[in-house]
Amino acid sequence: MARQEKSIARQSAPAPIGLPKAPTGIQGLDEITEGGFPLGRPTLICGAAGSGKTMLAAEFLVHGALEYGEPGVFMMFEESAEELAQNLRSLGVDLDRLRKQKKIAVDHVHIERNEIQETGEYDLEGLFIRLGHAIDSIGAKRVVLDTIEALFSGLPNHAVLRAELRRLFRWLKDRGVTAVITGERGEQSLTRYGLEEYVADCVILLDHRIVDQVSTRRLRVVKYRGTAHGTNEYPFLIAANGISVLPITSMRLDHPASTERVSTGISGLDDMLGGAGLYRGSSALVSGAPGTGKSSTGASFVDAACRRGERALLFAYEESSRQLLRNMGSIGLDLARWQAQGLLHIDASRPTLHGLEQHLVHMYELVRRLNPSVVVVDPISNFTLDKDDRSLKPTLMRLIDYLKQQGVTALFTSLTSDASADVAESQVGVSSLMDTWILLSNVAGNGERTRTLQVLKSRGMPHSHQVREFLMSDHGVGLVDVYLSGDRVLTGTARISQVAQEEAASDLRRRDHERRFNELASHRKAIDAQIAALEAQASERVGAVEFAIERERLQAEGVNARARAIARSRDVPPPRAVAPKPESGRTTRRRSAK
């Protein structure tokens, strides 16, 4: 793969090294062959009936004529020009117009065995002349011979025919045209008549295999002389716009990692995923039992993307497009408007329509065409009828790789059986590929069933480990915290009653607090009253004390005054005996000062 990419880069460089190649213009095939078929040499395409040989050859020619300026000659030995025109019309190619524009020349070589008699020596110069004439008439650079093996049944002398075929391929090389020769798959050899003997430069094998009644087309480059090429079997698809080969088997992990986050469309879930949602370009798996809301999660995700103005692609493998729109309308997700605005594309098909890998090609093809920023696959578990299908994981790996490379954020839903033991087991295969794994489950109890959601893992971001209750209402899906009571998860009615109980309890508490506050306030009031009474008492005593002191002072003053008056009348100094006078005088002074 590394070499492949390098050589593709080299191809676009001005001086290509190595074998010059003629691009086929077929999606994916040029990558596998590292640029196309060998330029100026014949390439053999072999395969069983109905494996798409003619289609591949015709596309090679048409792309050459339309896109690479290389006119081509289509020489057919089985179909008529009219039949080929019809086949190409189904791919949107107007062969008649291309013929008129001299971009493609068509020659139908038809031989009836029963009208030919052989006598003596001959060669196939007539074929050479016809081919040469067709090439010259439009200046062709490409030639398709489909299926030249028909000559073996038309001409009895195989010795001559083989010699002439050898000469023909030599001649084609000499003329420098890039030729594609188709051949029917043989029992023992690649082609029934051993054409690979003559065309040894590049051999491509187409296969149409049926496993479990589902067919898958595969392509393999058996041989490509002088150049490296992808050697694996690659699934391919003949779609409405032609052949599309899926070359990705990238085992390298080199996709860019964005730090941008995108909302899942469920606000509660975004909160659980570090508050911002998924990383852009990451892959998420939503698994759950039937009826747990996987599709609704997917639809919310798509809705959120469209709301942001981004393109979204939804692969529905269980519901038809209309059914999905109606059902999502019931939870308030109006996806029809996004569809009308061209933001949303819903691709609804039966998963058993194709084989697993063919589905992948189809998805790859749609992603490439629509270039969405968000892809939802609902569900991946329906892809395969066989539960033990080993190819589911590599196929998903390819898809995830591709989506990551494109920076597409992907959400896959997966159905798990109801038994909880199986949940982890059946998911182990694919969950390791996912960056985020969201598990939806039903919790039954108290006579009811409740949807719950939990994030089992989410790489590179803190995420909630709690189980949330998943609610669907007529305005979308949402999450509610669940109650953990002891070892029990309370959801649904239990949760609601728990909420009511807690509310009642808190009301009671509030009232209790109020009462206690009131009590405190009245207590305070009582204390205040006591304080006032005591103060009144205190001031009363102060008054009494002051009154007594005053009375004593006045009495003392009266005694003194009488003593002085007596002394004055007898003209004798006052007796020294009245010693405490200054003291009482000081008291008096203090009092007066006061």
Interface with another protein (CB under 8 A): 107-111, 115-127, 129-130, 132-133, 151, 154-155
To another protein, the closest distance from the beta carbon of 160 in angstroms equals 8
Residue 58 Cβ, how far from another protein at the closest point, in Å? Answer: 20
DSSP letters along 192-253, please? Answer: TT-GGGT--SEEEEEEEEEETTEEEEEEEEEEETTS----SEEEEEEETTEEEE--------
CA distance 116 to 383: 54
What is the nearest approach in angstroms of another protein to the Cβ of residue 215?
36
Task: Closer to another protein by CB, 118 or 552: give it.
Answer: 118
CB 429 within 8 A of CB 301: no
**Considering beta carbons, is residue 129 or 554 the nearer one to another protein?**
129
d(CA 22, CA 583): 137
The count of other CB atoms within 10 Å of the CB of residue 431 is: 17
Residue with tokens 């998943």: 470
| Closer residue to another protein in complex, CB, 154/274 | 154
DSSP secondary structure letter of residue 407: T
Kindly give the pairing relationship between strand 283-288 and strand 278-279. unpaired
Report the C-alpha gap between 357 and 352 in whole angstroms. Answer: 11
Q: Collapsing DSSP states into helix, strand and coil, what is residue 530?
A: helix
Nearer residue to another protein within complex by CB, 119 or 569: 119
Q: Choose between 44 and 165: whose C-beta lies nearer to another protein.
A: 165
Least Cβ distance, residue 155 to another protein (angstroms): 7
Least distance from another protein to the Cβ atom of residue 129, Å: 5
Give the long-range contacts of residues 477-485, CB within 8 A, separation 24 or more: 477/266, 477/293, 477/296, 477/297, 477/300, 477/331, 478/266, 478/267, 478/268, 479/266, 479/267, 479/268, 479/269, 479/271, 479/272, 479/453, 480/268, 482/452
- Nearest distance from residue 136's CB to another protein, in Å? 8
Q: What is the 3-state secondary structure (H, E, C) of 236-255?
A: EEEECCEEEECCCCCCCCCC
Nearest distance, CB of residue 111 and another protein, angstroms: 6
Q: Choose between 115 and 583: whose C-beta lies nearer to another protein.
A: 115
Nearer to another protein, 116 or 578 (CB): 116
- Quote the least distance from Cβ 109 to another protein, whole Å: 6
Sheet holding 104-108, edge to edge: 104-108, 72-76, 142-146, 178-184, 42-47, 202-211, 214-224, 233-239, 242-245
Nearer Cβ to another protein (121/254): 121
Q: How far is the CB of 116 from another protein (least distance, A)?
A: 5
Query: By C-beta, is 155 or 456 nearer to another protein?
Result: 155
